[in-house]
Amino acid sequence: MAISERCRLRKKIIKMRTEKKSFRKISKSLKVPTSTVRYLLLHDPYRKKRKPGRKQLLNKTYCRRIDTVVKQIKRKSQRISVPKIRQKIQIPGSDKTVRASLHKYGYHYGQVKSRIYLMPHHRQKRIEFAYFFYKNRINVDHIVFTDEKTFTLDGPPNTRTWHRRGETPTKEARVKGAGSINVLGFVMSCGVVGLFWKVGNLNSVEYIKYLDNYLLRSVTYVMEHTNMPTFVLQQDNAGFHTSYLTMEFLKDRGVMTLDWPAKSPDLNIMENIWKMLSDIVYDGPQINTKEELWGRILYAADRINIDTIRSLYSTFGDRLDNIIWNAGGIISHSYIQNET
- Tell me: do 283 and 139 sit in the same domain: yes
Please give the residue range of the domain that contains residue 94.
Answer: 60-104
Q: Is residue 291 part of a domain?
A: yes
- Tell me: do 140 and 272 sit in the same domain: yes
Kindly indicate the confidence band of residue 48, based on its pLDDT and cuts at 50, 70 and 90: low
Residues 307-313 have a mean pLDDT of 93
- Tell me: do 185 and 287 sit in the same domain: yes
Q: Is residue 115 part of a domain?
A: no
Strand order in the sheet with 143-152: 193-198, 180-187, 143-152, 232-234, 256-257
Name the CA dihedral angle for 258, 311, 293, 240, rounded to a multiple of 10 degrees.
0
Kindly indicate the confidence band of residue 170, based on its pLDDT and cuts at 50, 70 and 90: confident
Give the integer Cα–Cα distance in Å for 92 and 177. Answer: 40
Q: Is residue 251 part of a domain?
A: yes
Determine what percent of the chain is predicted with pLDDT higher than 70: 86
What does the pLDDT read at residue 177?
56
Q: What CATH number has the domain bearing residue 309?
A: 3.30.420.10
Q: Is residue 53 part of a domain?
A: no
- Tell me: do 289 and 215 sit in the same domain: yes
What does the pLDDT read at residue 271?
93
Give the integer Cα–Cα distance in Å for 317 and 250. Answer: 26
Give the integer Cα–Cα distance in Å for 300 and 291. Answer: 14
Sign, CA dihedral 136-256-266-240, equals negative
Whether the predicted pLDDT of 161 surpasses 80: no
- Tell me: do 100 and 129 sit in the same domain: no
Q: Is residue 85 part of a domain?
A: yes
- Tell me: do 250 and 137 sit in the same domain: yes
Q: Please give the model's pTM, rounded to 2 decimal places.
A: 0.70
Q: Is residue 166 part of a domain?
A: no
What does the pLDDT read at residue 49?
61
Q: Does residue 330 or residue 233 have the better pLDDT?
A: 233
- Tell me: do 216 and 285 sit in the same domain: yes
Q: Residue 127's CB: how many other CB atoms inside 10 A?
A: 18
- Tell me: do 151 and 190 sit in the same domain: yes
Q: Is residue 127 part of a domain?
A: yes
Residues 215-240 have a mean pLDDT of 91
Residue 25's DSSP bridge partners are none
Q: Could you give the number of structural domains in the chain?
A: 3
**Close Cβ partners of 89 (under 8 Å, ≥ 6 residues apart):** 65, 66, 69
- Tell me: do 98 and 7 sit in the same domain: no
- Tell me: do 97 and 128 sit in the same domain: no
- Tell me: do 29 and 125 sit in the same domain: no
Distances (CA, A) of 292 to 152, 180, 185: 11, 11, 18
Q: Is residue 51 part of a domain?
A: no
Whether the predicted pLDDT of 333 surpasses 60: no
Q: Residue 166's CB: how many other CB atoms inside 10 A?
A: 5
What does the pLDDT read at residue 293?
92
Residues 34-44 have a mean pLDDT of 79
Whether the predicted pLDDT of 299 surpasses 90: yes
- Which of 13-27, 158-172, 215-229, 262-276 bottoms out in mean pLDDT, i.e. has the lowest? 158-172
What does the pLDDT read at residue 23?
84
Decide: helix, strand or coil at residue 63.
helix
- Tell me: do 70 and 144 sit in the same domain: no
